[in-house]
Amino acid sequence: MGIRQEYIEKHPGSKRLYERAVKLFPSGVTHDRRYLNPFPIYVTNALGAKKWDVDGREYIDYWMGHGALILGHRHQHVVQAIHRQIDKGTHYGACHEMEVEWAEKIVELVPSAEKVRFTASGTEATMMAIRLARSYTGKKKIVRFAGHFHGWHDAVCVGIQPPFDAPNSSGIPEESLQNTIVLPPNDLQELETQLKKREDVAAVILEPSGGFGGVIPITAEYLKGLREITLKSGVLLILDEVVTGFRYTPGGAQQYFDVSPDLSCFAKILAGGLPGGAVAGKKAIMEYLEFKEDPHWNRYRKIPHPGTFNANPLSAAAGVATLDVIAKGEVIPMADENAGHLRNALNEVIKSHEIKWCVHGEHSILHILMNHRCPKQRTCDRKACTYDYTLAYQKDPVLLGLFRTAMLIQGVDSIGDHFWISWLHSGEVLERTGEAFDQALKRLKEDLPDRFDFPD
Ligand code: PMP
């Protein structure tokens, strides 16, 4: 039986729910990444590193709340904090102590954070950071790098995937992209040349891991060079730490790489599995969100910032509890170690299958390059992957979809070629993942033999 047929037979409950969902949601899903042909699984509960679906099937979870759950599902400290808060109210339409504590934690942990403003998501955080940069500098252009992801507001919807000069969506007026400059990643010379040529750049924004959590990673030297060039050119540096924040170290990638941005964006781990984001940065820039005793400033210079769910008490409670645990220092090294073991184990499986796949990644993130044409093959250390970025982001949606399906049959749920690893993914969980990967590859080679056979 083929992978897809077996999947359909093993998931009758999910199939039934999808039949209802597809009448309601475009393509039946509420997030593009959850879309799966023939249908996704429907989950009923989760604990630690695992989750269960409506058909009673168990999965090792590598979505981990899209990267929000480095502590695993239902960490008791977080759950209790949320329960306590629910009993006291979920939205006061007022300031509250928990938001103060939440921001204090950020300022304590994140080296460059002087002031903080909460948003409801990472997308809102990057949108705010870009607006702050434009207000502060009075300049329009934003430099971003090919293959980096900053959410889905207009200004950052170009440069995400090949072809990098085309927006990744319809419905974006050309005019909205006129102020976005897409440059190749990891190329300091090109950045310097561009910044020397122009006077109109407000900020450079990037993921300090490299795009999409480090598909093509970047180095400390690159980030240091980037900081020097931006300082020299009077251009602000925005680190999008939505992924790396509270993951690379308690103080994020900026602490790990010892690079001090002007503004940083956070979400995911920040809010402990509930919705939430934040911008943190220099007082002089964050000042553009402040009220002053100056009607002209308030009307024409200040950035208005409403948002019904900014710093909502539930997210604040989950966020404070999560950052509390992370600050103790145990979680991140354990998650990193687990990820290292898993990367090695999966690369061993790949070797035994003699296929041109490669597992790499840094800290607690794992990426799979499928059918890559990397000339280094398996001779590099994979850490400082220098694979051609124009190829790294080219996906084979059929292979990727069927890989996910095959892994689900084996009891592993991942975002296809991207795994988030928590401190709880250890021991038998990792062993089972390796076995599942091995089985899934066997099945894939049977179902899609042509996808594994290409000339050098
Ligand atoms: N920036 C980065 C680096 C991200 O990975 C994401 C989400 N995956 C975002 C921004 C957008 O965050 P959100 O999904 O909370 O809008």
CA 122–ligand 1 middle distance (angstroms): 5
Q: How confident is the model at residue 373 (pLDDT cuts 50, 70, 90)?
A: confident
The C-alpha atoms of residue 104 and residue 100 are separated, in whole angstroms, by 6
CA 65–ligand 1 middle distance (angstroms): 12
Any atom of ligand 1 within 6 Å of the Cβ of 243: yes
Question: Over the stretch 34-74, which tens digit does the pLDDT of each residue have?
Answer: 999 999 999 999 999 999 999 999 999 999 999 999 999 99
Collapsing DSSP states into helix, strand and coil, what is residue 99? helix
Report the atom number in ligand 1 closest to the C-alpha of 123.
16
Q: How confident is the model at residue 349 (pLDDT cuts 50, 70, 90)?
A: very high
Collapsing DSSP states into helix, strand and coil, what is residue 261? coil
Tokens of 320: 């404070």
pLDDT, average across residues 362-377: 88
- At the topology level, CATH places domain 76-327 in Aspartate Aminotransferase; domain 2 (3.40.640)
Any atom of ligand 1 within 6 Å of the Cβ of 122: yes
The C-alpha atoms of residue 351 and residue 345 are separated, in whole angstroms, by 10
Q: How confident is the model at residue 376 (pLDDT cuts 50, 70, 90)?
A: confident
CA 121–ligand 1 middle distance (angstroms): 8
Sequence ranges of the domains in the chain:
3-72+331-451, 76-327
pLDDT, average across residues 223-239: 98
The C-alpha atoms of residue 313 and residue 406 are separated, in whole angstroms, by 40
The C-alpha atoms of residue 383 and residue 231 are separated, in whole angstroms, by 28
pLDDT, average across residues 178-190: 97
CA 415–ligand 1 middle distance (angstroms): 14
Q: How confident is the model at residue 332 (pLDDT cuts 50, 70, 90)?
A: very high
Residues 6+ apart with CB under 8 A from 110: 241, 245, 251, 252, 254, 255, 264, 266, 280
User: Is 59 in contact with 44 (CB distance < 8 Å)?
Assistant: no
Return contacts of 97-103, CB within 8 angstroms, 24+ apart.
Answer: 98/313, 98/316, 98/317, 98/320, 99/311, 99/313, 99/316, 101/316, 101/320, 102/311, 102/316, 102/319, 102/320, 102/323, 103/278
Give CA torsion, residues 342, 346, 349, 354, to 10 deg: -150
Burial of 1 (0-12, 13-18, 19+ CB in 10 A): exposed
Question: Over the stretch 384-425, which tens digit does the pLDDT of each residue have?
Answer: 677 888 888 888 999 999 999 999 999 999 999 999 999 999
Report the atom number in ligand 1 closest to the C-alpha of 66.
8
The pTM (predicted TM-score) of the whole model is: 0.97
Question: Over the stretch 192-213, which tens digit does the pLDDT of each residue have?
Answer: 999 999 999 999 999 999 999 9
CATH 3.90.1150.10 correct for 3-72+331-451 = yes
In percent, the amount of the chain with pLDDT more than 70 equals 98
Check residue 383 and give its pLDDT: 64
Check residue 381 and give its pLDDT: 66
Burial of 187 (0-12, 13-18, 19+ CB in 10 A): middle
Residue whose entry in the numeric block shows the structure tokens 């990792």 = 430
